[in-house]
Amino acid sequence: MNSTSPYSAPSAPRAHVLIPQIAPWIRRRPLALVAFMVLLLAIAVGAFIETRSASAVRYVTAPVVRTDLTQTVTASGTVNPQNTILVGTQVSGTISEIYVDYNSKVHTGEVLARIDPSTFEATLAQAQGNLAQLQAQAQAASQSITGTNFSASAASAAAASARANLAKSQAVLSLAQITLDRDRALLAQGFLAKSQFDTDSEAVTAAAQAVRGAQSDYAQSVALSGQQSSNAVGSTSTAAAAQAAVQAAQATVTEDRLNLERTVITSPVTGTVVARNVSVGQTVAASFQTPTLFTIAQDLKKMEVDIAVGEPDIGNMRSGNAVDFSVLAYPNNTFHGIVSQVRVNPTTISNVVTYTVVVLVNNEKNLLLPGMTANANIHVAHVGNALVVPVGALTYRPARASGPRQPRPTNSGTTTTASSNTAAVSPWGATAGGSAGAIVGGTRGVLFVLRGGKPHAVPVRVDLVNGMLAAVTPMRGTLDTNDLVVTADSAPHPQRSAGASPPPGLGRMIR
C-alpha cells in the first residue's frame, strides 16, 4: 500500500493533461491568465532568493568582554556549631530530675540533670564501714608490734647478759687452771702444802661447772631472742598487710564517693542546649558505652559548614579560600565564609569519594541554625581585568575552509596533523563544535574572530575557566573587546557537539 509523507510535496500534474483542461478557461478569462503568470513568477523569484539565502553561511557570535573572572567549585554541606560538646554519664541509673530543655542557656558547672543516688549512697556507706573495720585491725596490729618489739628487746638483753656471764665463767676457769698448774710445780719442789694444791684443784672443777652452766643459759637466751625477733617480724608483716587493706578500702570509698557525685550531671562549658536525649524516669546504662544525655553548642555565633567536595575538585582546595553559600531558609541571602581546613580523611559512598572541607562562618545575626543544608560556591582561582569569552568559542571549528592543511592546537601546546581521511576537516583539525580536549586553565586553544564577515583564527592561552566562561590571553594576533568571537555557524557539519552553542544572551547571528 502506497503512503505519502505529510512533509513531502505533492507531485506536479502532467502538462499534456492540464493544457486541454485549462485551454477553454484561458480563452474565456484573459485577465486571469495574466494574474496566474504573475503568481508563478513571484513563486520562482521567492524560491531563488530563499535558495541564495540558505546557501550563505551565518555565524553565531559573542562579544569579547574585559572583566574579572572567578573559578568556583560548587558543593553542598551542613551547617554545624564550631564546638559541640556531648554531655554523657559515667554511671548507670534512672534519671530522677532534669533542669534544662532544648535551647536552654547554660553556664559552666550548672546542674543539668540528676540520676537517682540511692544505690550509690548505700554502696558508699558499706565501703565506709569496711574501711573503719580495717582501720581498727591495723591499729591492733600496730599495738602488737610494740609488745613484740619490747619482748624481743628484753630477750636480746638477756642473751647479752648470758654471753657476759659465760665470758666471766670462762675467765675464772682460766685463772683457776693457771693457779693449779703453778701450785703443782711448787708442790713438786716442796714449797707448797698438799692441802693448798687440793683446794686449787677443787676451784678448777667448780669453775668448769660454772662455765658449763653459763653456756647453757646463753644458748637458751639466744633461742628465746630469736623467737621474739621472729614474732616481731610477723607482727610487722601483719601490721603492713592491715595498712595495705586500709589503703585499698580508702580507694574504694573514694571511688564510691566519685560515683555518687557523678549522679549530678553538670555542664562542662557555657553554651546552648541543642539536643536533649533523655527524659525523667529513663534508665541509662554506662557499662560499655557512655550514653549522650545532652548536646551543647558552645557558641552559636561561630558556626562552620562541613562541605563534601568530590575527588575531582579537592586538588584545588586551599585554606583561606573564600566561600559564598546559601541555605533554603533564606534563599535570597548570601553568606560568606573562609576555608579553615581541608581534611584528608576520605568518605566513600557508592564508590564516590568525597573529602570534608571546613568553612568558618560568622553568625552574629543568629540566622544560621545547626543542621541546615548549605549550597556553597568555593572560590578556588581568580583573574582580574581579563579578556572573557564563552567556552563555546574555544570549541568551535569551521566546517569547511580553503587552503593547505594546517596543524591544530592541542591542550598541551603541541601540534598534530589531521589525517587525510577525516570527514569535513577544517584547517584547524576539528569539525565544527568539536573540541581537541577539555577546556581548563593552563591549556591552549584557538578562537575564531569574525572580521570582514569571515572567521579568523587567533591562538590563545586559557587562563581560567568558570562554567560557560573562560579568561584567555592571545598568543599571536590581537584580541580586543571590540571583537566578536564565533561560537557556531549555520553550515552543515558531519558532527556537531552539544557544547558548540553559546549560552543564552551571549551570542547573536551574523550573516
What's the rounded mean pLDDT across residues 331-339?
Answer: 95
Residue 305 confidence class, pLDDT cut points 50, 70, 90: very high
Q: Which residues contact 450 (CB under 8 A, 6 or more apart)?
A: 59, 61, 456, 483, 484, 485, 486, 510
3-state secondary structure (DSSP) of residue 313: coil
The predicted pLDDT at position 145 comes to 67
> Helices H, strands E: what count in the chain?
5, 22
- Looking at 160-169, 230-239, 381-390, 454-463, which range is the least confident one? 230-239
The predicted pLDDT at position 306 comes to 97
- Looking at 12-21, 26-35, 294-303, which range is the least confident one? 12-21
Domains of the chain listed by start with CATH number: 15-53 (no CATH), 59-66+386-510 (no CATH), 87-113+267-294 (2.40.50.100), 119-261 (1.10.287.620), 297-382 (2.40.30.170)
Helix then strand then coil, % of the chain, to nearest 5 = 35, 30, 30
Q: Say which residue, 336 or 8, is predicted with more confidence.
A: 336
**Calpha distance 342→507 (Å, rounded):** 39
pLDDT at 433 over 50: no
Average pLDDT over the chain reads 78
- Segment 163-182, tens digit of pLDDT: 777 787 778 778 778 877 77
Residue whose C-alpha cell reads 580507694 in the numeric block: 251
pLDDT at 51 over 70: no
- Segment 126-164, tens digit of pLDDT: 999 998 988 888 887 776 666 566 566 766 777 777 777
Share of the chain above pLDDT 70, in %: 74
Q: Say which residue, 17 or 74, is predicted with more confidence.
A: 74
pLDDT at 17 over 60: no
Task: Tell me the Cα Rg of the chain.
Answer: 57
Share of the chain above pLDDT 90, in %: 45
Q: Centre a 10 Å sphere on the Cβ of residue 430 and count the other Cβ atoms it contains.
A: 22
pLDDT at 504 over 50: no
What's the rounded mean pLDDT across residues 406-431?
Answer: 35
Q: Say which residue, 95 or 223, is predicted with more confidence.
A: 95
The predicted pLDDT at position 23 comes to 59
What's the rounded mean pLDDT across residues 482-506?
Answer: 63
- Looking at 111-115, 123-127, 203-207, 304-308, which range is the least confident one? 203-207
The predicted pLDDT at position 93 comes to 92
The predicted pLDDT at position 419 comes to 33
Q: Which residues contact 393 (CB under 8 A, 6 or more apart)?
A: 62, 447, 448, 485, 486, 487, 502
The predicted pLDDT at position 24 comes to 64
3-state secondary structure (DSSP) of residue 508: strand
The predicted pLDDT at position 165 comes to 76
List of long-range contacts for 288-291, beta carbons under 8 Å, 24+ apart: 290/88, 290/89, 290/90, 291/88, 291/89
Grid coordinates given for 59: 555565524
pLDDT at 5 over 60: no
Nearest to 342 by CA among 321, 322, 358, 320: 358
Residue 45 confidence class, pLDDT cut points 50, 70, 90: confident
Nearest to 284 by CA among 82, 423, 148, 89: 89
DSSP 451-464: ETTEEEEEEEEEEE
Is the four-CA dihedral 488, 490, 495, 496 of positive or negative sign?
positive
Nearest to 184 by CA among 203, 169, 199, 197: 197
β-strands 469-474, 415-416 pairing: unpaired
3-state secondary structure (DSSP) of residue 114: strand
Q: Say which residue, 369 or 195, is predicted with more confidence.
A: 369
The predicted pLDDT at position 505 comes to 38
Residue 288 confidence class, pLDDT cut points 50, 70, 90: confident
**Calpha distance 329→374 (Å, rounded):** 10
What's the rounded mean pLDDT across residues 504-511?
Answer: 41
- Looking at 105-109, 253-257, 408-412, which range is the least confident one? 408-412
- Sheet (strand 105-106) strand order: 84-88, 292-297, 271-276, 105-106
- Looking at 208-222, 300-314, 348-362, which range is the least confident one? 208-222
- Segment 358-371, tens digit of pLDDT: 999 999 999 999 99
3-state secondary structure (DSSP) of residue 145: helix
Q: Which residues contact 78 (CB under 8 A, 6 or more apart)?
A: 305, 306, 371, 372, 373, 374
What's the rounded mean pLDDT across residues 85-96?
Answer: 93
The predicted pLDDT at position 66 comes to 94
